[in-house]
Amino acid sequence: MITQRSLRMTAQRKVILEELTQVNTHPTAPEIHSMVRRRLPHISLGTVYRNLDLLCEQGLVLRLPTQGGKQNRFDGDTKAHAHVHCTECGRVVDLLGMFSHAEMEDRARRESGYHIVSHRLEFVGVCPLCRAKVTI
Amino acid sequence: MITQRSLRMTAQRKVILEELTQVNTHPTAPEIHSMVRRRLPHISLGTVYRNLDLLCEQGLVLRLPTQGGKQNRFDGDTKAHAHVHCTECGRVVDLLGMFSHAEMEDRARRESGYHIVSHRLEFVGVCPLCRAKVTI
DNA sequence: ATAGGTGCAAAGAGTTTGCGAAATC
DNA sequence: GATTTCGCAAACTCTTTGCACCTAT
């Protein structure tokens, strides 16, 4: 059985969520830490990780494993949308108006027999800024 | 400028690639290490990582960052296809015949202006085996 | 009052890397 | 024979966790 534990709205949790929803850069945990530190100078990195885990569990934040692995990025926008990940600078950008996400999940469910919870459509490429610098 | 370095076909590299293409389980690097060890008992984990990096660079193998981040899985099948990742057991299964992948990349290119190199469509859900065990 | 949360620092997991020896082209 | 690759072990990066003190409900 799943018991919905009570989530206290602490100053730290509130600020993390606020910073994350005000930004569309999909920051990493250490990046979020330094963003939040401007408002809460004594917050620890451990607290940031703990809160991100909780917020992901609650579905208020999305965890985005990125190409290369190892590091996660976080997204305060939980509406279904696709991402493009630049191989050069690591930036992750949103793509809206792609495909019908409901239809994708429905097709996946029919083909796999899985109970589909969510999905992630990540394109990998080189962003216009980096294209100018890099010989492809 | 990108110079195509000469890749020596060492016993280690050959066996890693063979094991990876013969399997559809999307193993992690340590898992590949123990698979390969059955044939090359003295191969080190570092060598496995180095070769996986090279093979990914060459496009012979795909790196699959998985939900939760931290650990990568590897796929010897480089044809475009989607994956389903089970939240309970971590298993990653292939989905073929989903959408037109060429069309997806084309749409992404038009919307983002990126030079799209590849993409990854990952569904997250609970597999039939785990559904039997877990209360959703 | 008390379960839940925090900061700090240490530990853990996965991956990368420096080095001298070995193997491929 | 030159250069790439290997095995080993140490180092690194990101993340998690134990503990003693705090705080929202």
DSSP of B35-84: HHHTT-TT--HHHHHHHHHHHHHTTSSEEEE-TTSS-EEEES--S--EEE
In B, minimum Cα distance to A126 occurs at: B115
Beta-carbon contacts of A130 under 8 Å, excluding residues fewer than 6 positions away, are A86, A88, A89
Alpha-carbon distance values, A6 to A3, A9, A18, A53 (Å) = 9, 9, 20, 15
Whether B108 and A98 lie within 8 Å, measured CB to CB = yes
- Is a pLDDT exceeding 70 seen at residue B1? no
Say which range, A20-34, B22-36, B49-63, B92-106, has the weakest mean pLDDT: B92-106
Q: Single out the residue of B78, B46, B73, B49 nearest to residue B61, CA to CA.
A: B78
Q: Are B96 and A94 in contact (CB under 8 A)?
A: no
- Of chain A, the percentage scoring pLDDT greater than 90 comes to 38
DSSP single-letter state for residue A25: S
Q: Which residue has the higher pLDDT, A111 or B14?
A: B14
Q: What confidence score (pLDDT) does residue A2 get? A: 40
3 state DSSP class of A123? strand
Q: B74 pLDDT band (50/70/90 cuts)?
A: very high
Interval A86-108: pLDDT, tens = 776 767 888 876 667 778 888 88
Helix (H) or strand (E) holding A45: helix A45-57
Kindly report the bases of strand C lying within 7 A of a protein C-beta atom. 3-10, 13-18, 23-25
d(CA B61, CA B39) in angstroms, rounded, equals: 20
- Of chain B, the percentage scoring pLDDT greater than 70 comes to 88
- Residue B46 touches chain A, beta carbons under 8 Å: no
Furthest CA-CA distance within chain A = 55
Say which range, A18-32, A40-54, A118-132, B54-68, has the weakest mean pLDDT: A118-132
Output the average pLDDT for chain A.
84
- Nearest nucleotide to the CA of B30, by C1', is C14
Residue A43 CA to nucleotide D21 C1', Å?
Answer: 15
d(CA B98, CA B118) in angstroms, rounded, equals: 16
3 state DSSP class of A30? helix
- Residue B112 touches chain A, beta carbons under 8 Å: yes
d(CA A87, CA B123) in angstroms, rounded, equals: 22
Which of the given ranges, A2-6, A53-57, A120-124, has the highest pLDDT on average?
A53-57
| Chain B residues 13-32 with a CB less than 8 Å from chain A | none
- Is a pLDDT exceeding 90 seen at residue A54? yes
